[in-house]
Chains A and B, each alone.
Chain A
């Protein structure tokens, strides 16, 4: 390869060229920097929350400060890290390349999405220094609308703007997938990562507007007292929950579907086998997206909704398990008799399957109306959704980072550092959250500042685990700098991937492809 080859990184120079770039690859990197900073902040809040829970009663902070930290941890992690995470960073980078396009359909809109995330994050973050918010990330009424301070308004406004960013990214991805595929790239030949991002984008476009109106109504409720959620004025607080979960349940799949796309790529590449059941995996993404709209009521089993609604929501909730299991079994079938290489990304993929399965199976407990009465709002729920969202999304995020790092930067991420990070994150994760299942079953409520002395040991174990996770992610971060400074030159295709991004140089040229590729077969043609 020629020295000083022309690529998207040296195509233009200077910070200004980055801030005004319309290149999807650069925008992906800008998302990476931004979202990782949010992740760091949210992670620090997580560690502080866990530290406070090391002993019963007051350990480090007052109950007030604890409530705020818990709120910021949740809001930052959900709205600024896990929801945008994989689509905005890796989706932006690889989606156009994977379908043989030169860019996303609307490059300006893409840049605008990034700025909206920044503006939203700044408005939300500004409440840290003004009036603090202690509602939890769900902003449940009537507490958020009547009781607590006015800081809820900027907080929610920031989230509203972030939602806009999410809608625009999703819209861009849908149109890109529809309109910019290379000749011969039929919908049944697009890589599974693209299928996953496409399904996610549909969810982003269809669910987020409902969150938008919910948040606007909350702002109106707070500022004008319109009375829609305030029982004193004739309103109904449960309506807020219906609206909120109509978005936020599909949002769980906005978080997890892209992760599943990543896992499909990793499993195929590191097993060196044709992916088993391509269409099943592809369409199960759409199925998950579709069913996810019909399950929000399982968040309200104890809210006094009708028994019939409870049974129906319980049934449909369990139905989501079917397309999810289809994916899992197809990944395992792909690995069967494959030449598996246990490189760091594959370890993260296997970690994903392990943790996500635990998260999914405990979800069945919570989907059962009777069991849910026992587990509702206990640490069992906390453990469940951390297994699904963190164990799922963040494992995939780390896997994706190490897998595509050579493509993005031209340097190879140290496999050893990746494995060390994996050991810390994987064990730390289980040490942190497995005890929480037991705590929940014993009756420790979620969100609480204080707990009974009987719960002390399990809580301490959990806090200890959180330090391990923290260490793991710090190792992961160190790996990024290490690879940038000392990483080996990657070459076009260091891992033997079969999708289009591995056919172009690393880092890719400014317009991705010198000659538009013509596709004549499926995405994973291993022999």
Chain B
């Protein structure tokens, strides 16, 4: 705004009485926004709960296909990043610029690790054909006139090979082979991967947005635009990041561990 009032180097906008007033107001705004985020994911969770109760076997077979190890790694990475984010806020509040920069940079690095792991998880799913809805099916029809899934086609190929050859040629180890066989026997299993890709996909977009926002406040820290008197953007972005973490903490057991 054109008219600004100064308190200790940082100024508040003309329609606020003081920096504190502005801080309180911004914080309420951020919390309200986070409520809308939770509500949006709430819709997904409701849909998840309904279909889980309708088709428990689909969710059982589907979740077996997800890698608990990779999911757990990502959970730890995100939890740790929440910790470094909180540290970052704390350092900014106390005016410890260099430590704040490191903490925020580590948080961004964690976001990057999370996305890289997600990338490997996704590409593997494209490889074996555990993809959502209509894309899980091939063009062909089986002898009985039913649509053939990509997993079914892969298994048909695998059945012709020995265990060692499966590992070598198709990159299928024995456990995964069993899980895919279980999956293939379950009617409507692509539904699970619809949920998996939509839920983790929208969450992934939030991780990207969060990383971008943390980068934005990191620049602010470097340029001395935030400090002990004024740290609203850092705290706001931090709250957003915690919610992104929180949502993953729900997604991980719901998607990976229910089986």
- Residue A61 at the chain B interface, CB threshold 8 Å: no
Contact A233 B133, beta carbon cutoff 8 Å = yes
Contact A210 B40, beta carbon cutoff 8 Å = yes
What is the minimal beta-carbon distance from A476 to any residue of chain B, in angstroms? Answer: 33
CA distance A214 to B194 in the complex (A): 14
CA distance A45 to B1 in the complex (A): 41
Contact B43 A511, beta carbon cutoff 8 Å = no
What is the minimal beta-carbon distance from B130 to any residue of chain A, in angstroms? Answer: 13
- Counting chain B residues whose Cβ lies within 8 A of the other chain, the interface size class is 35 or more
Of the candidates B13, B33, B42, B47, the one whose C-beta lies within 8 Å of that of A228 is B47
Residues of A within 8 A of B197 (CB): 220, 224, 226
CA distance A228 to B135 in the complex (A): 14
What is the minimal beta-carbon distance from A158 to any residue of chain B, in angstroms? Answer: 18
Residues of A within 8 A of B191 (CB): 226-228, 233-235
B9-43 CB contacts (< 8 Å) to partner A: 13-16, 21, 24-26, 28-29, 32-33, 35-37, 39-43
Contact B188 A234, beta carbon cutoff 8 Å = yes
- Per-residue contact bits, chain A 219-239, to B (CB 8 Å; 1 contact, 0 not): 011001111101001111001
Contact A210 B43, beta carbon cutoff 8 Å = yes
What is the minimal beta-carbon distance from B237 to any residue of chain A, in angstroms? Answer: 15
CB-CB nearest in chain A for B43 = A213
- Residue B223 at the chain A interface, CB threshold 8 Å: no
Contact A209 B133, beta carbon cutoff 8 Å = no
Residues of B within 8 A of A208 (CB): 36
Residues of B within 8 A of A227 (CB): 132-134, 188, 190-191, 194
Contact B42 A107, beta carbon cutoff 8 Å = no
CA distance A226 to B134 in the complex (A): 7
CA distance A226 to B188 in the complex (A): 11
The answer to whether A225 and B47 touch (CB under 8 A), given A101-B15, A103-B15, A175-B25, is no
- Residue A194 at the chain B interface, CB threshold 8 Å: no
What is the minimal beta-carbon distance from B171 to any residue of chain A, in angstroms? Answer: 24
Of the candidates B15, B36, B134, the one whose C-beta lies within 8 Å of that of A167 is B36
The answer to whether A205 and B36 touch (CB under 8 A), given A105-B29, A226-B194, is yes
- Residue A217 at the chain B interface, CB threshold 8 Å: yes
Residues of B within 8 A of A488 (CB): none
The answer to whether A220 and B198 touch (CB under 8 A), given A102-B15, A227-B133, is yes
CA distance A175 to B1 in the complex (A): 19
CB-CB nearest in chain B for A246 = B43
- Residue B44 at the chain A interface, CB threshold 8 Å: yes
What is the minimal beta-carbon distance from A164 to any residue of chain B, in angstroms? Answer: 9
- Residue B183 at the chain A interface, CB threshold 8 Å: no
Residues of A within 8 A of B15 (CB): 96, 101-103, 105, 107, 180, 511
Contact A209 B39, beta carbon cutoff 8 Å = yes
Contact A234 B58, beta carbon cutoff 8 Å = yes
A201-219 CB contacts (< 8 Å) to partner B: 205-206, 208-210, 212-214, 216-217
The answer to whether A178 and B133 touch (CB under 8 A), given A209-B40, A234-B58, is no
Residues of B within 8 A of A172 (CB): 29
Of the candidates A105, A212, A224, the one whose C-beta lies within 8 Å of that of B25 is A105
Main secondary structure of the interface of B (DSSP, over half): helix
CA distance A208 to B25 in the complex (A): 22
- Residue B80 at the chain A interface, CB threshold 8 Å: no
Of the candidates A106, A210, A230, A511, the one whose C-beta lies within 8 Å of that of B39 is A210
Q: What is the number of contacts between chain A and chain B, taking CB atoms within 8 Å?
A: 131
Residues of A within 8 A of B1 (CB): 22, 107
- Residue B215 at the chain A interface, CB threshold 8 Å: no
- Residue B195 at the chain A interface, CB threshold 8 Å: yes
Contact A226 B132, beta carbon cutoff 8 Å = yes
Main secondary structure of the interface of A (DSSP, over half): helix
B107-146 CB contacts (< 8 Å) to partner A: 131-135
Of the candidates A171, A213, A234, A243, the one whose C-beta lies within 8 Å of that of B32 is A171
Contact A230 B133, beta carbon cutoff 8 Å = yes
What is the minimal beta-carbon distance from A235 to any residue of chain B, in angstroms? Answer: 7
Contact B32 A224, beta carbon cutoff 8 Å = no
CA distance A227 to B58 in the complex (A): 13
CA distance A216 to B194 in the complex (A): 12
Residues of B within 8 A of A235 (CB): 191
CA distance A171 to B39 in the complex (A): 14
Residues of A within 8 A of B252 (CB): none
Contact B39 A206, beta carbon cutoff 8 Å = yes
Contact B25 A226, beta carbon cutoff 8 Å = no
CA distance A103 to B28 in the complex (A): 17
Residues of B within 8 A of A107 (CB): 1, 13, 15
The answer to whether A209 and B36 touch (CB under 8 A), given A224-B135, A230-B133, is yes
CB-CB nearest in chain B for A512 = B15
Contact A175 B29, beta carbon cutoff 8 Å = yes
CA distance A363 to B236 in the complex (A): 44
CA distance A220 to B132 in the complex (A): 10
Residues of B within 8 A of A225 (CB): 132-135, 194
- Per-residue contact bits, chain B 184-201, to A (CB 8 Å; 1 contact, 0 not): 000110110011011000
CB-CB nearest in chain A for B16 = A180
A336-385 CB contacts (< 8 Å) to partner B: none
- Residue A179 at the chain B interface, CB threshold 8 Å: yes
Contact A239 B133, beta carbon cutoff 8 Å = no
Lowest 10 CB-CB distances: which A-B pairs, in order? A226-B194, A225-B133, A225-B134, A234-B188, A213-B43, A102-B15, A209-B39, A209-B40, A103-B15, A227-B133
Interface residues in chain A, defined as those with a beta carbon under 8 Å from any beta carbon in chain B: 22, 96, 101-103, 105-107, 109, 167, 171-172, 174-175, 178-180, 205-206, 208-210, 212-214, 216-217, 220-221, 224-228, 230, 233-236, 239, 243, 511
15 contacts between A and B (CB under 8 A): A107-B15, A171-B32, A175-B29, A208-B36, A209-B37, A210-B40, A217-B43, A220-B198, A224-B131, A227-B134, A227-B190, A228-B195, A233-B191, A234-B191, A236-B50
Apart from A209-B39, A224-B194, A228-B195, what 15 extra A-B contacts exist at CB < 8 Å?
A: A96-B15, A105-B15, A106-B26, A106-B29, A171-B36, A175-B25, A178-B28, A209-B42, A210-B40, A213-B42, A227-B191, A228-B51, A230-B133, A233-B134, A236-B54
